Structures are given as structure tokens and as C-alpha cells.
Amino acid sequence: MAEMTVIEAIRSTLAEELTSDDRTFILGEDVEAGGVFRATEGLAARFPGRVIDSPLAESSIIGISIGAAHYGMRPIAEIQFADFIHAGFDQLCSEASRWSYRTKGDSWLPMVVRTPWGGGVHGGQHHSQSIEAYYCHMPGIKVVAPSFPADYRSLLRAAIEDPNPVLFLEHKRTYRLIKQDVDDAPAETRLGRSRITRRGNDLTIYAYGLMLHESLAAADTLAGEGIDCTVVDLLTLNPLDKETVLEAAKMTGKVLIVHEDTLTGGFGGELAALIAEHAFEYLDAPIRRVAGPDIPAMPFHHAMEGFFMPNRDKIAAAARDLAAY
Amino acid sequence: MTTQATAPTGIPEGFTPDLLDYMLHQMLFMRRFEERTGEMYTKGKIRGFLHLYIGEEACAVGSISALQPQDGLITHYREHGHAIARGIDPKRIMAELFGREGGTSRGRGGSMHIFDKERRMFGGHAIVGGHMPVAVGLALADKKLGKDAVTMCVFGDGGVAEGEFHEALNLSSLWKTPVLWFCENNGYGMGLPLEKSIANDIYKLAEAYRMPSIRVDGMDVIGVRQATDEALKHIRAGNGPYFIEAMTYRYRGHSMADAELYRTKEEVTEMRKNDAIERLKQRMTGAGLLDDAKWDALVERVEREVAECIDWADASPQPQISTLFDDVYRE
């Protein structure tokens, strides 16, 4: 199989799942033609009737997936950009998340909603959003945000085979940017597990998506300066792998949380609270966060977008401060 | 709306005495079930929000009696009647209203969220319009899996102003999914009269999405059944969705907390003259299928059956708090 980009990892996994399970089908805007990012390219011809174009109706794409999943099919919905998913927020949060709970386990929803998220592509306010915090707030749905192609493959498969609704977040900047030999790379096959990707004694960085790659780049730079970082690839944000998160915090006693979503109410707050509650006595410094600034939208202008986005330099700067504390 | 003065009389072909007895019993049972439910609310046996179906019985009985066991049903939150009509044990329905272990969702759902997989009633949804795309998904799955089944989706006039109504109707028509859209138009979305919420006749909106769409007298159980039979024939033949707008009226407030400032007592009194149970009773009596003795026996039977539901629900244990975290995720 050798080297694959993120988008190739996703496309090949979709093809494999459509091949191995007759109950799977893809539903989304322009998916028959391959989709905006070409994730479903070639699949409509290979799997007639199982790659279904929907008009622009995000609430219905998710709602229809709920109905089909309830009847035992395995819908894989695509929301063209994560920014558009909010029209379907109600379906995910008010319907899908509690289907099992409200029926006390009599019924369940094996469904996946895939969507490209994140900034750094000059998409401006409606094509750059980080949406994970809204959905991580919702028990009953799982939220997955991989970083490497091998994990995209193994976790997309796990998401499709999971009996619960899964929101599968694909960082759009990484689609063609990140490549990996997927045969040799470590691949997490279980939802709900995080991975310690790099081990170092001075501080622990938590990240996911594009920011995981930026964090690893920062850790490389810092290693040259004598600062050794542990880096945790969170992989699944909800339910969170609390054990690994806490273990990694206890290892170094210094915690830096990175996400490109805006700071206030972002997922980092939950991580910080968890670590403060359960690993306080191991901490040698205040928990630090590097996140998008509290402004309503990713600006379009490239320099302003650069100001908004955390990156390896900002992460390294915060890490140096933390290491010196 | 058809009034009593112009209402059809007599018994049409195909309506056997057994079917008529069944429909009369069902409607009377629903009426009494809901009256007693209101009492239980006042007594504090039922908490929260309670929306009674009284007045609208002909809609549920006329339509749902036409479904087959393999069909799916998904409804709005004023759904006690639909659950009864679908054949869910009414003791378990009452127990759900009481929030007890014996309830359809073992106390997790309550009045607005009755769900029974076995009887294929998939909620009870209290986000207005939220269940409509789900109905398309159920029907799409039936079509893809080659099942001879229809999904009936019940909603009120209040749901018609929601965007999901339009998305769902559009997609059901586009994909010819086997959905029976059944609108119970009781004239008010909570307290908002129809003329302040919808810019056109509801059935005409459905026509715009290119599906057969009719308006029926929702206080005539026989007419509702005839319309539903016709609709199901169309859908089962593979022709896609069908829309029925049933004109009905709720006698009680939107919920138990409704002061009903948006309508007059005179209006309610006038509408009650068109009562669906009374109308069927008269038609059956006119056809020699009902007399005072049979009616009295039916009333007595229903009284006893509803009392049994209440006793059963009240005796059902409280759910264990220790189960609070069960079923958040399926393993």
C-alpha cells in the first residue's frame, strides 16, 4: 500500500467498507461526482446506487442517515464543509445522540458523519471552522479527529463499524499535505483511545488534526534546544481517553494544550479541567493553552488568517515559557 | 372543513361491523385514556409537560388502523393516541407517562417520547419537524432493502413552518420514498392560529413537491380511513410519497399549562358539536350496528380498561437511579 495522503487513506477505506459490508452507503452533496475534496472519487461507478447525491439540505442528510441506521443500514454521510453542519446540529444532538438512551438500548444508530474542518486554506469565515467543541459537549455521539493517514484508515473503519453515531472530522489542510507509509505506521484501531506519539520529560503537548503536526514540528525544534516534549495525539475527542491524557500529564508535570478553535469554551478547557481535577499534585506549572483568538470568524486575508491560526512557532514559544517556569 | 351538517352518512362498503366496533372502541378508549391522564397529572402522578389528544382521535384511528405490521410510524409529541392505535400495550404507555420501569422507555421518555421497537413506533419527537427527515431515512432504507413497507410520519400544522418539512417533502418526492405524510391540522401551533403561521393551504404546499395531496375531514374516522387506504395503495405500488392533511381540533389546551387565551370558549363549544366519536356513534346507530345497551357496555368496558392501565402504571416500580449511565453508548 505504501505511502498515502490523508485523502487517499479516506477514499481507500470508504471503498473497502463499501466492498465488505452491503449495508453501507454514502450520502452527501456532490458525492457521486467525487465531492469537493475528491474523497468519494470513483466510488459511485464502482458501487452503483450506494453513493447518493443529496441536495443542499444538511439537516436532512443527517436525519435521513438516522432513519436508515435505525433500520440496520450503515450510512456514511458527508457534510461538504464542517461549517455547514450546524443546520444539522439538531439532528445530531437532539435526535441521534440520544436514540440509544431514550430507548434504553432497544435501538441504536450505526452511522458516521464525515466532514472537513479547520483553517489554513484561506476559506474565510464559512469554510474554516473548528466545530469539535459543540459536539464534544454531547454525550451519545463520538467525535474523532485523526492526524495521520494510517489512523484515518483504521479509525474511519472503526467509526463505520461502531454501533453509535460518530462525527468523523477530517482536517482539510492535511488532506494532501500529510503523507505516510500506512503499512509501517502505528494505527489506532479503537475509538476512544489517544496515543502518546512522542515522549520527552520536560512538558506535554496535547493536540489533534493539523495542530498535532505543528506540535510535532515544534517539538523537533525544541529538542534542538534541549527541551524534550511529550506529544499526545488525542485521536478521539469524545469519549476522551482520560487515562492516557492523565498519564501524559503526570509524566512531565507541565501541560500545553493546542487547538485552532477559539480559546473560550474550546475543547482545551475541558482537557485543562480534567488535568487540574485529577493530576493537580503532579503539576509543576499552570496549564497553558495555545488556541485561536476569541474573534467570531477566521479572517480571509492571508496574514490575518496566519495571526488567527496557531502554528509551530507559537507552540514552541509557549513551550519555552512553560519549560522555563 | 366539512361540518356535521354536510358530513357523509351511512356506512361505506368495506367497513365491516368488526372494523367499526374496533374504531369506535379505539376512539373512546383514547378519549377516556386522555381524560384520566389529565386527572393523573392534576393529582401529581404525571409530571412535566402533558399534551392531550382529546378531539383528534379520528386522525390516529382512521389512519393507523390501515397500516400493516411491517410499516413504520414516527410522530410528533402529542402521540399518546398514535401509540394506542399502533397497538402498544396502553398499560406500558401509561407507565411511561408515570415515568416507571414498566413504561415503553422505562421512564426515560415520558409523555412526548413514546417509542416501541416491536410495534414499530419510533417516537414521539418533541423537536417540532425534527422527525421528518428521519422518516425519509426509514423509507429510504425500506426501499433500498427491498421491503414492502411504508413509513407513516405524523406531524401538526405547527411543523409545517419548519425548514425540515420542506427538505423532507422535497427529498421524499425526488427519491420516491414510501412515506405517508400525515398532517394533523388542529388549527393552532401552540397558540398561533394557522393564518399567522402558514402562507398557503398546507396540502397545497405538498402539491408543490409533486406528490398526491388531499385534505380530509379529520373528524370523520371513516373518511380518514378511506383516504389512508387510498394513499397506502398508491405508495405500496411504488409511486412514492402521499400527503394527507386532516382537519381536526383539539378540545383541550396545547398542554396542561395552557390558559387558551388565543381562542374563545364559544369556539371550542361549537367545534365539539362536530365530535368524531359522536359522529361514528350516530352512523353506526343509523345502520343498526349500535344501540344503547351496546354503547353502555362499551363505555363500561373502556372505563375498566383505562382504570387497569392506571393501576398497572401506579404499581410499576420506579426506575433504578443506578441505571442512569446505561445505554449512553452501545457497546
Q: Would you list the DSSP string of B287-324?
A: TTS--HHHHHHHHHHHHHHHHHHHHHHHHSPPPPGGGT
Q: What share of chain A is helix, strand, coil (3-state, %, to 5)?
A: 45, 20, 40
Distance CA B139, CA B171 (A): 11
Phi first, then psi, for residue B202 (nearest 5°) are -60, -45
Min Cα distance B19 → chain A (Å) is 31
Say whether both A128 and A199 belong to one domain: no
Min Cα distance B170 → chain A (Å) is 10
Say whether both A251 and A278 belong to one domain: yes
The pLDDT tens digits for A206-248 are 999 999 999 999 999 999 999 999 999 999 999 999 999 999 9
Return the SS3 of A1: coil
Regions of chain A with pLDDT less than 70:
1
Identify from A71, A91, A97, A113 which residue to disrupt to test chain B contact, counting B C-beta atoms within 10 A and taking the largest count: A71
Helix-helix angle B17-42:B276-286, to 10 degrees: 150
| Close Cβ partners of A9 (under 8 Å, ≥ 6 residues apart) | A149, A150, A152, A153, A156, A182
Min Cα distance A91 → chain B (Å) is 7
Burial degree of A108 (CB within 10 A; 0-12, 13-18, 19+): buried
Question: B168 and A60: CB-CB below 8 Å?
Answer: yes
Peptide bond just before A239 cis, omega within 30 deg: yes
Distance CA A192, CA A155 (A): 10
- Name the H helices within B114-245: 132-144, 163-174, 202-208, 221-234
Amino acid code (one letter) for B50:
L
Q: Which range of residues forms the domain containing residue A171?
A: 3-181
Count of structural domains, chain A: 2
The pLDDT tens digits for A116-145 are 999 999 999 999 999 999 999 999 999 999
Which entry of A127, A171, A213, A259 is annotated as an active-site residue?
A127
> Which chain B residue lies closest to A23 (C-alpha atoms)?
B145
Q: What is the CB neighbour count within 10 angstroms for residue B217?
A: 25
Residues 111-170 of B with CB under 8 A from A: 113, 115, 117, 122-123, 125, 127, 130-142, 144-145, 151, 163-164, 167-168, 170
Say whether both A149 and A200 belong to one domain: no
What DSSP string describes A288-314?
EEEEE-S-SS--SSHHHHHHHS--HHH
Say whether both A120 and A256 belong to one domain: no
Do A77 and A111 touch, CB atoms closer than 8 A? Answer: yes
Percentage, residues of chain A above pLDDT 70: 100
Percentage, residues of chain A above pLDDT 90: 99
Say whether both A91 and A150 belong to one domain: yes
B289's grid cell: 350496528
Say whether both A94 and A236 belong to one domain: no
> Catalytic residue at A126?
no
Domain membership flag for residue A238? yes
**Domain of residue A68, CATH code:** 3.40.50.970
A60's grid cell: 436532512
Domain membership flag for residue A31? yes
Amino acid code (one letter) for A14:
L
Distance CA A300, CA A124 (A): 4
pLDDT of residue B9: 84
**What's the ipTM?**
0.95
**Domain of residue B298, CATH code:** 3.40.50.970
Say whether both A22 and A107 belong to one domain: yes
Say whether both A20 and A168 belong to one domain: yes
Q: Which of A181, A214, A233 is the last residue of a domain?
A: A181
Distance CA B113, CA B115 (A): 6
Domain membership flag for residue A188? no
Identify from A23, A58, A104, A138 which residue to disrupt to test chain B contact, counting B C-beta atoms within 10 A and taking the largest count: A104
Domain membership flag for residue B325? no
B5's grid cell: 351538517
Min Cα distance B294 → chain A (Å) is 40
Question: B137 and A69: CB-CB below 8 Å?
Answer: yes
Q: Does B92 touch chain A (CB under 8 A)?
A: no
Identify from A64, A90, A101, A238 which residue to disrupt to test chain B contact, counting B C-beta atoms within 10 A and taking the largest count: A64
Question: B134 and A70: CB-CB below 8 Å?
Answer: yes
Interior angle at CA B81, CA B78 and CA B86, nearest 5: 120
Q: Produce one character per residue of A164-201: b if its CB has 16 or more CB atoms within 10 Å, e if not.
A: bbbbbbbbbbbbeebbbebeeeebbeebbbbbebbebe
Say whether both A292 and A255 belong to one domain: yes
Domain membership flag for residue A73? yes
Say whether both A128 and A256 belong to one domain: no
Distance CA B165, CA B163 (A): 5
Min Cα distance B259 → chain A (Å) is 28
Domain membership flag for residue A144? yes
Residues of B in contact with A163 (CB under 8 A): 330-331
Amino acid code (one letter) for A304:
M
Residue with grid cell 431515512, as numbered in its chain: B137
Question: B130 and A95: CB-CB below 8 Å?
Answer: yes
Q: Produce one character per residue of B154-180: b if its CB has 16 or more CB atoms within 10 Å, e if not.
A: bbbbbbbbbebbbbbbbbbbebbbbbb
Do B68 and B147 touch, CB atoms closer than 8 A? Answer: no
Regions of chain B with pLDDT less than 70:
1-6
Domain membership flag for residue A187? no
Distance CA B288, CA B283 (A): 9
Say whether both A95 and A153 belong to one domain: yes
Q: Does B223 touch chain A (CB under 8 A)?
A: no
Q: Which of A148, A181, A214 is the last residue of a domain?
A: A181
Q: H or E stretch including B183?
A: strand B179-185
Distance CA B182, CA B180 (A): 6
Return the SS3 of B286: helix
- Of the partner residues B133, B135, B329, the one whose CB lies closest to the CB of residue A59: B133
Q: Which range of residues forms the domain containing residue B116?
A: 2-312
Residues of B in contact with A75 (CB under 8 A): 137
Size of interface A-B (CB pairs under 8 A): 126
Dihedral sign of CA atoms B130, B131, B132, B136 in order: positive
Question: B134 and A64: CB-CB below 8 Å?
Answer: yes
Say whether both A212 and A136 belong to one domain: no
Count of structural domains, chain B: 1
Residues of B in contact with A140 (CB under 8 A): 328-329
